[in-house]
Amino acid sequence: MNKVSRIKLKNGLRLLVVPNPESLATTIYVFVATGSKYEDKKTNGLSHFLEHMCFKSTRKRPRPIDIASDLDGIGAQYNALTTHEYTGYYAKVQNSSFQKAFDVISDLYLHPVFRDDDVNTERGVITEEINMYEDSPKSKVGEIFMELLYGNQPAGRSVLGTKENIAKFSKNDLISYRKNNYLPCSTVVVISGKISASEAASLVKKEFSLLARGEKMSKLKVVERQNSPAEKLFYKKSEQSHLMLGLRTFPAADERRYSLSVLAEVLGGGMSSRLFKKVRDELGAAYYVRAETDFFSDHGFLSVDAGVDHRKLEAVIAAIVSELKRLKKEKVGDIELIKAKEHLIGDLFLSIETSDALGYFYGTQEIMDMKPSSPFEIARKIRQVTSEDILKTAGGIVKNNRLNMALVGPFKNRSFADILKV
């Protein structure tokens, strides 16, 4: 992999070029720094609605089928995504079709057309997307967990928004929101694959240099408030109890993220991790159990999620709590530490083999205003983590006033406060 080039246009838009002459495919990503954390209660869901609408109509392609046919006709893989902090549009194609893919993605980003009929149609689509996640306890528990941690502030609300909001949004709401957020200063174009920096810069300057400047909307800083362990149960008839148990941590720029990532790997990062052995191999209580870290611009958390036999729920919660306590009391052994770090590094390198994954890797760092790090730099920092670092990090976060548990299952008038203590 060659050196990543970063080019800034006169209007403030940033371009990243990730060249790989051996790649069989090239990907374009367009990221914009807006998502649900830029919304208030009344506009919650608007970022995601806008993402959908960009695929409905453009000046050059007036129907959804025109956009889809142009991309399908060149064998593209394409999609879009909305998160709490950014929105992204992408297409991945064989190298010979890249200019066509670039034309389509830049067109839908720069020149969308919003029509009342399309807005009304898409209301139904997004409402069914919300229903789909509501019907999935494994997805619903994550939403409940965010509500529990952050409550009535943007970080605590669903990226999809509410059905009530979706029913009310108008064409003018979408136009206004786009005008205030889709600006060159908040846009990052990433091109990854068999392309040179000069070729990529020529394409991007031609299409994006006329994007008008503007002042970006700011987002509210997350407020963290907690005095004791907290739980939030959502009643749903289900074959399993789906839980998410975790701890408040720190933002993406915090250097402790590396020791926390290794901690999570030891806890529940693979089939030889502590929780996998305890919850699945010994208790036989779950098919999946894993520990993960999530880092945002101004907050973060460590979480363990699992789908659990109702009858063994208390035993699983107790096992998770016990392993969290152990991490702040005992050093991780040398063999276990090396294994965890190498597994984490292996996952990183294997996850960025393709042009789209590599573009996403660098693009999300840039759109989050993080100091750019190559996979090799990240691997070096992971390997530098010591058992003392993990012990210190665990000691700082494994506390009752950071502990939270969300649960989706057939439980009413039930509390697990007696075992939810670290």
Tokens representing 5?
A: 């080039």
The DSSP symbol for 154 reads G
Give just the sign of the alpha carbon dihedral 373, 101, 211, 172. negative
E strands present in 202-337: 230-235, 241-248, 286-295, 300-308
The SS3 call for residue 406 is strand
The Cα-based distances of 341 to 255, 303, 329, 338 in angstroms read 16, 18, 20, 5
Round to whole Å and give the CA distance between 225 and 220: 15
- Cα–Cα dist 174/25, whole Å: 33
The whole-angstrom separation of Cα 342 and Cα 337 is 9
Rounded CA-CA distance 192/363 in Å is 10
Determine the Cα–Cα distance for residues 353 and 303; give it in Å rounded to an integer. 27
Q: Which residues form the catalytic set?
A: 51
d(CA 180, CA 176): 6
In this structure, which amino acid lies at residue 139?
S
